[in-house]
Amino acid sequence: MIITGIENFILGIVAYLISLLPEVSITSPFGTAIVTANGYISTAYSFLPFITLSLLAIIAFDVAFEFSYFVYKIIYWIIRRFPTQS
Amino acid sequence: MITLLVLFGGFLGAKTSYAFGMTWNGTHFASTTPTSVSFCVADYPYIPSWGVYGTGYTNPTSTFDFANWSITASAFTNGTYQVVDCYNPATPTDYAIFTVNSGSITTFGTNGGAYFTSFTYSTTTQYARLQGFWAVPSDSNKFVSLIFYQNSTVFGKQDVEQVSATTTGNFDFSFFFHGLPVATSTQNKVFGLYSVINLTDNTNVRITGECASAPFSVTWEYCGQNSTLLVATSTIVNAFNYNLPISPPLKQTYSFEECGLTHFDLGLCLADVAVGLFQPLQGDIHWENLRSVMESKAPFGYFYMAKDSLGNLSATSTPTTAITIPSSIKNTILIPLDTAISGILWFFFLFNFYKRLKFITI
């Protein structure tokens, strides 16, 4: 009960902070870009599905890998700021 | 990426291999023998015409060596099906049931035969492999489909996948399943891996509604009758395996002690109070609220937007630019080209990823 309450309290705070961010709009430049890109991708996918999926999977993997590595480097850098760590 | 995860997951998850099943060698079903299951007993009272027929075995009330077990298809009575119950005498709840169906009752078009030749699975990779033969019915209003799912009384139907026959010939599919909960002595028939070949009409209504997984079904739990649409010489086998030694899904394990006037223990009562106060309750933590908020807010919402867009990709959907390509050109040029170039892409990806890993400093 207590732990659940604390977790829900933290979740509530995070949700509130996120709710302050602007709404997603498909008419925004970024939203338009996604819709346009999806149109091109769906066209390519209808003709060459394996190539399309392969490219998407490779790009997604690269982004996820580099992002994870970047986060790791940041965390490692922060840890090394502690006086007892080297 | 999904492919990589599956591949990597297969390597990482390699522990003990516990796969068994049965294969069709052209004349009879032969067991792929696990060492821990040593006996088979023909035993299932719900089936009125139950029995086991085959090499070295005619008496349905005695046991026989699972390693030497085989069933000859020609011994089957047309239109009936038999049940083989295999178990380990040391752990009787660890058993498998094979049902075999054979017969020629009516035809489903002139070219509508379908049957399994192999049903195996592995809890190591969590993939079930189904091999067999199917034929596209000559009647264009009917189609053949293969449905695979894991079912249990605990979680219901999971991992449902359906594949439809587009060409006549052998099929070979592998389906992922989540793994099966360990049964207790009171729930020893809680799950199974099911694979059913259905013949349905173009309204997607099963032809024989009596069975939950009719026609061609041998799902004994639901079908107390024989299918009426079996094609001559078709033979189907399903395997239902119970109580496999794999890890159950995580769940709360604390059981509260009895704390009352008739059985009072101050320590246990205090422990119950402490647990009740501090034990996190998974169902009461509302992650979905956070997710729903994130989905509508930038920049997280754009990620979900892109994810949904990619998830809705389908070869059958209408693209923004529609160009009709003759199927002959598609089959002879586009598909081989597509496969070859995607293979080259993956090769280059692996090559460059290896080069990238060499410069990783940890």
Model confidence over B204-242: pLDDT tens digits?
Answer: 333 322 222 222 223 322 222 223 333 323 333 333 333
> Does residue B177 carry a pLDDT above 50?
yes
Residue B180 CA, chain-centre distance (Å), reads: 11
Taking only the tens place, the pLDDT of each residue in B146-158 is 667 665 545 556 6
Give the A:B interface size as CB pairs under 8 Å: 128
Residue B137: per-residue pLDDT: 63
What single string gives the DSSP state of each residue in A17-81?
A: HHHTSPBP-TTSHHHHHHHHHHHHHHHHHHH-HHHHHHHHHHHHHHHHHHHHHHHHHHHHHHHHH
Residue A72: per-residue pLDDT: 93
Longest dimension (CA), chain B: 83
Which residues on neighbouring strands pair with residue B152, listed in sequence order? B156, B191
Mark which residues 315-334 of B lie under 8 Å from A by CB.
315, 317, 319-321, 323, 325, 334
> Does residue B299 carry a pLDDT above 50?
yes
Residue B218: per-residue pLDDT: 31
> Does residue B91 carry a pLDDT above 50?
no
Selected residue with higher pLDDT from B264 and A36:
A36
| Minimum distance, in Å, between the CA of residue B166 and any CA atom of chain A | 18
The Cα–Cα gap between B229 and B231 comes to 6
E strands, chain B, are 19-24, 28-32, 39-41, 63-65, 70-72, 80-88, 91-103, 114-122, 127-134, 142-152, 156-164, 169-176, 191-201, 234-241
| Minimum distance, in Å, between the CA of residue A11 and any CA atom of chain B | 7
Note whether B107 and B179 are within 8 A (CB): no
The Cα–Cα gap between A48 and A35 comes to 20
Residue B170: per-residue pLDDT: 81
Q: Residue B12: what residue type?
A: L
> Does residue B336 carry a pLDDT above 60?
yes
Residue A38: per-residue pLDDT: 81
> Does residue B256 carry a pLDDT above 70?
no
Strand-strand pairing, B70-72 and B114-122: unpaired
Which of the residue ranges A29-38, A49-58, B110-119 would you say has the lowest mean pLDDT? B110-119
Which of the residue ranges B101-105, B136-140, B219-223 would you say has the lowest mean pLDDT? B219-223
The Cα–Cα gap between A41 and A46 comes to 9
Note whether A1 and B273 are within 8 A (CB): no
- Is residue B284 less than 8 Å (CB to CB) from chain A? yes
Residue A64: per-residue pLDDT: 92
Q: Considering only CA atoms, which of B233, B235, B203, B229 is closest in space to residue B214?
A: B229
**Chain A residue numbers touching B349 (CB-CB < 8 A):** 54, 58, 61
Residue B349: per-residue pLDDT: 95
Q: Is B199 helix (H, G, I), strand (E, B) or coil?
A: strand
Residue B258: per-residue pLDDT: 61
The Cα–Cα gap between A10 and A54 comes to 39
**Chain A residue numbers touching B313 (CB-CB < 8 A):** 41-42, 45, 52
> Does residue B274 carry a pLDDT above 70?
yes
Residue B302 neighbours by CB distance under 10 Å: 18
**pLDDT (mean) for A60-81:** 91
End-to-end CA distance of chain A: 41
Residue B152 CA, chain-centre distance (Å), reads: 11
Residue B111: per-residue pLDDT: 30
